[in-house]
């Protein structure tokens, strides 16, 4: 069965970096894009961008350029989201989702908390 399993919660200080993983199983990893979605506490879903799992080419939404990096390790069917220079406003749950137009499978979410 298709699964996306994300890494566990992280607690970081401002200025630090974090890397969230999203491991796919149950399907051929390179046949679907991986998208990333942020949800700040009590807020809605915010599309961050996507990565082409065939080419590794990332596309970032406005507001997610510079400090945010999407990457892949296709040998282990895993996508990564790295955030550098963490700020308090980065505190959120980050989701990965398998995408072919719509998102039919989602990871369970990774809570990143940024606090001094």
Residues 21-60 that bind another protein (CB under 8 A): 35, 37, 44-47, 49-50, 59
- Which is closer to another protein, CB of 36 or CB of 80? 36
Give the count of beta carbons closer than 10 Å to the beta carbon of residue 3: 13
Could you tell me which residues come within 8 angstroms of residue 38 by beta carbon, excluding any fewer than 6 positions away? 45, 46, 48, 92, 93, 94, 95
Cβ 52 to another protein shortest distance, Å: 12
Residues 57-96 contacting another protein, CB under 8 A: 59, 61-62, 95
């Amino acid at each position: 069965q298709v699964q996306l399993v994300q890494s566990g919660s992280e607690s970081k200080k401002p200025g630090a970096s974090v890397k969230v993983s999203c491991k796919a199983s149950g399907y051929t990893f390179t046949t679907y894009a991986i998208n990333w979605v942020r949800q700040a506490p009590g807020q809605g879903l915010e599309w961050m961008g996507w990565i082409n799992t065939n080419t590794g080419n990332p596309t970032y939404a406005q507001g997610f350029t510079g400090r945010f990096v999407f990457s892949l390790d296709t040998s282990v069917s895993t996508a990564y989201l790295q955030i550098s220079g963490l700020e308090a406003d980065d505190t959120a749950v980050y989701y990965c989702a398998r995408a072919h137009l719509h998102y039919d499978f989602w990871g369970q979410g990774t809570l990143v908390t940024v606090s001094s």
